[in-house]
Amino acid sequence: MQKVAVESCTDYDIDTVKAAVNRLFTELDTNIKRDSTVLIKPNIMAQNKPTQHTVTHYTVIDAICAYLADKSCRIQIGDSIAFFQKGLTRKAFTTTKLSDVAKKYNARLVAFDEEPLTKITAQLTVFKQLYIPRILLEADVIINACKLKTHGGGLRFSGAVKNVFGCLPGGYKQKAHIWVKSDFELSDLFIDIMQTIKPALHIMDAIVGLDGGPSALGKPTPVGALLASRNPAALDAVACRMIGYKPEQIAILVRAKERGLITDFATIKILGTVPRVQFRKLIKTPLPAHKTKDSMFVTDTFVYPVVKKSKCSGCRDCLDFCPTGAIQLDAGGKASVNYEKCVFCYYCLAACKERAISFKSSLGNKLIRLMRWMLGF
């Protein structure tokens, strides 16, 4: 029987959050060993502020870090933002205040778009291969710290299972979104990533959820709870019911059950009291068999790596580090990008010591960034 622990937590007061998180760890008997290397994967979708409630609140990450610090664990906090902005994930750590948390606990901030990737081919159902940041495979324990949000289109819900999508660095997420044929296939991709990195625990920030998310266009909605489980599908099922969805209305949960992540949503054991907060922007039409049209937030937010030939020394660093072999030297000995092979992970930007690689943004990307700036997002 799968267990989901629920703790009442009505605000982000750090002492209140710490007490609730400690109870979650105790109730689920997580048994994280002392001196372990633990990577916390929050939800950082963009360079947003905690008050927008699009990201896992920094006090929840602080509380998890405090628990791990008491066990003398080596703490890492890692993610990759979904929307291209200058400064990428590294700047998002500052805007979300996770950089302050990392400094407090001597934790390492890991921007997945700056990390070397490992090619995965085993037990995949959607793509023949995936490129996963190596650091995710090296950690002793991964804690998936997600945010309660509804989602537009066919996905409808963003919780524990979907949060691992952020393990794909940079624009790789948008490309994967475009490559799949349906939201069921996209859900399979999330599950493939989940089964590759194998998080030991999933904690959901549902103190304030986001109705009509996942972007800052959603409405912050007080829910007043923290949830946790060892099973991401069980956690998402409880959270869905909490806000007015049934598991069978969510493509992610339909696929999770079909693939054996959970056997029965009706037999989940709940430890605690689940609040009921009816979200307003729910989609109740039947799940579409085919993917709904990708929005411009998918098609126009990734950017193209471009080599500045005048700065390129031909050192081959970007060639050696590119996981797909998308970068080659041209006839003049300068690096050149093959966009047919590129997965847009953006790692070449970090790998180039000459700073010869920059990004070319689409008009749509520029307009979205301008809109974010004008609206204060």
Check whether 291 has a pLDDT greater than 80.
no
Query: For the segment 86-123, what is each residue's pLDDT rounded down to a tens digit?
Result: 889 999 999 999 999 999 999 999 999 999 999 999 99
| Residue 257 contacts residue 265 (beta carbons within 8 Å) | yes
Residue 226 has pLDDT above 80, yes or no: yes
Indicate if the pLDDT at residue 376 is higher than 80. Answer: no
Above 90 in pLDDT, residue 134?
yes
Alpha carbons 197 and 142: distance in angstroms, whole number: 8
User: Is residue 295 pLDDT above 90, yes or no?
Assistant: no
Cα angle: 39, vertex 57, 30; to 5 degrees? 45
Domains located in the chain, CATH noted: 3-271 (3.40.50.11440), 304-360 (3.30.70.20)
Q: In angstroms, what CA-CA distances link 373 with 47, 49, 181, 228?
A: 11, 13, 33, 35
pLDDT at 371: 67
Give residue 227's pLDDT band: very low, low, confident or very high (50, 70, 90): very high
- Per the rule left: phi > 0, alpha: psi between -120 and 50, beta: everything else, 301 is alpha
Rounded to whole angstroms, the Cα distance separating 65 from 298 reads 32
Banded model confidence at residue 377, pLDDT cuts 50, 70, 90: low
- Residues 314, 328: contact at Cβ < 8 Å? no
Continuous segment of H or E residues that includes residue 210: strand 201-211
pLDDT one-digit tens code per residue, 22-37: 999 999 988 899 999 9
Token look-up 């069978």 returns 248
On the question of pLDDT at 74 being above 90, the answer is yes
Chain segment 143-195, per-residue pLDDT in tens: 999 999 998 878 999 999 999 999 999 999 989 988 999 999 999 999 999 99
pLDDT tens sequence across 316-356: 999 999 999 999 999 899 999 999 999 999 999 999 999 99
